[in-house]
Chains A and B, each alone.
Chain A
Amino acid sequence: MAIQSPSLDLTAGAGTGVRLTPVAITRGYWQSVARRLRRDPVTLVCGVVLLLVVASALAAPWLGLSDPYKTSMIRRLYPIGSPNFLLGTDELGRDMFSRLIYGGRLSLFMGVTPVVLALLIGGFLGITAGFLGGRVNMLIMRIMDVFYAFPSVLLAISLSGAMGAGAENTLLALTLVFIPPICRVSESVTTQVRGFDFVEAARASGAGTLTIVRVHVLGNVLGPILVYATSLISVAIILAAGLSFLGLGVKPPEPEWGLMLNTLRQAIYVNPVLAALPGVMIFITSICFNLMSDGLRAAMDVKA
């Protein structure tokens, strides 16, 4: 993973005593990232769509939607476009529109949280391993290899299968699944940055280890690690929904996209379009996260 961010040379300059204050440089870099993002229509559209999904999920209780838990045996599986039920009703007569919006709360939460947690833990472990090298690196990376030996889906399924269904266990399982890849990426970028001349120069000019890590290493590795982590969010959302789909994640009657797909499966002969709706939400969210991640990668000039 080569790092070609403009910040690299500039931070290097700061380290070697060129008269450029690091703060001003960082702002310059992020400003140029923001400018490139603004000029990227695809990323912008995806950002707006994601913002809508997230905002509607967060604001669901105040949107005047009907109760997503209220069942009714007399209005089961209403088709899309029924009066009062914009997107019909599910197999227990609950309002689909309301459930899809409410479902975003858990689905997004279960997709984003594990990546954030794994970013903190895996990033810390990876940067530590990369910066210290030697035995510490060996120890951390071999432990990661153990988790890597399992295909991610299998690891997630067996972990949550062993710990039992429930949102907390799914979060824990997914976090464990995403720590190794983030750790590996963090380790490889840090190892690269550590070998650059500006780190050597900073050390020669008397900078302490903490300063080197904070200014010279973190400043250069956070970008690539962040971009990589954002690309994992869509995987995490699909995996979390998949676990709920298998009955290993969120428990009914909570509205969650994966779980809704599972419970509506029996309805594919009666109302096929309705049965596919929760998946459309997962698909839209995941494709937007992927495109955002690609846009961010391009804007931040991080090479895959």
Chain B
Amino acid sequence: MLLYALRRLIYLGPVAFGVSLLVFALVHLAPGDPISAIVPPDTPKEVVDKLKEYYGFDKPLPVQYVRWLLVTLSGDFGTSIGTGRPVSQEVGSAFGNTIILAIAACCLAFSLAIFLGTAAAYAKSRIVDRLVTSIALVGVSVPHFWLAIVLVIIFSVELGMLPPMGLGPENATGWRLDWPHIRHMILPTIALSVIPLGVMTRTVRSTIKEILSMEFVTALQAKGMNDRQILLHVLKNAAPVCLAVMGLQAGNLIGGSILIETVFSC
């Protein structure tokens, strides 16, 4: 087990290297060069060359890559040539808001999914199972940015209950855990949680169903263990698969929040 974990960690090296190459390549895929984005089009060529030299854009790409990698690894993300502010600050504040939203959506989606999935797997009546499977299906099929718009239409435009956009009340700075801020989070959190909810409910349901059909469950029942204790055994066995899918979903959720945040942006 420890050996396996170590081996996976060693694999991480080349993969991280590949990821850094990909990120670097992505920036250079963009048409045009970064200097022409910040200077007026009639800037004399000498000035542009000077700027290129200053930022190091005149060096060949591999040299730029190594320089960027070394500097980034030391924790310095540089300054944005667009705004002149440190990149870590620019990204950090935006990332913080995304993370708050993502955590809320994760909590909502995962807790509901574990409950619904387990209920469906245990359900004796077909109706419960059908209902949960339908919810899961809607979750994986609904375009979440559209759902966000629909939620805004229903709760903000028609009912006027919740704010349609923004991060918190006007003229408030930063984020605090109070009702005015939470009010702004309700709709985006719901919209963001539908996809992980659908995927996780499906995963939890099928995993628990599979475990319930295993012989050890019958053995535990024969031993006379009560249902609550058996459920604990079952959940423990379902945890690895479910946790793995949760990890992937959490990553996807941070990516998907771009779409939701667009809907709720001012």
A: residues with CB less than 8 A from B are 142-143, 145-147, 149-155, 157-159, 161-164, 234, 238, 241-242, 245-246, 258, 261, 265, 268-269, 272, 275-276, 278-279, 282-283, 286-287, 289-291, 304
Contacts and interface: CB of A to CB of B under 8 A. Distances in A.
Contact of A163 (B29, B206, B258): B29
Contacts of B251: 151
Interface stretch (B78-86, B109-117, B151-159, B223-231): B151-159
B255 interface: yes
B252 interface: yes
B140 A151 contact: no
Contacts, number: 113
Given A238-B141, A279-B150, A290-B141, 8 more contacts: A152-B255, A159-B26, A234-B141, A268-B152, A268-B157, A275-B149, A283-B143, A286-B142
A154 B255 contact: yes
Given A142-B15, A287-B138, A290-B137, A275 B153 contact: yes
A246 B257 CA distance: 12
A290 B19 contact: no
B97 interface: no
A149 to B, nearest CB: 5
Interface in B202-235: 206
A246 B251 CA distance: 20
A75 B174 CA distance: 43
5 contacts: A151-B254, A162-B26, A163-B31, A268-B157, A287-B138
Contact of B15 (A146, A158, A283, A290): A146
Given A142-B11, A162-B30, A242 B143 contact: yes
Q: Is the interface of A mostly helix, strand, loop or mixed?
A: helix
> Lowest 9 CB-CB distances: which A-B pairs, in order?
A279-B146, A146-B18, A154-B255, A153-B255, A151-B255, A287-B141, A162-B29, A151-B251, A272-B153
B28 to A, nearest CB: 8
Contacts of A241: 143
Contacts of A290: 137, 140-141
Contacts of A278: 146
Contacts of A276: 146, 149-150, 153
Interface string B162-201: 0000000000000000000000000000000000000000
A238 B143 contact: yes
B18 A145 contact: yes
Contacts of A152: 252, 255
Nearest to B14: A142
A265 B15 contact: no
Nearest to B32: A164
Interface centre among B141, B206, B251 (most CB of A within 10 A): B141
Nearest to A269: B157
B36 interface: no
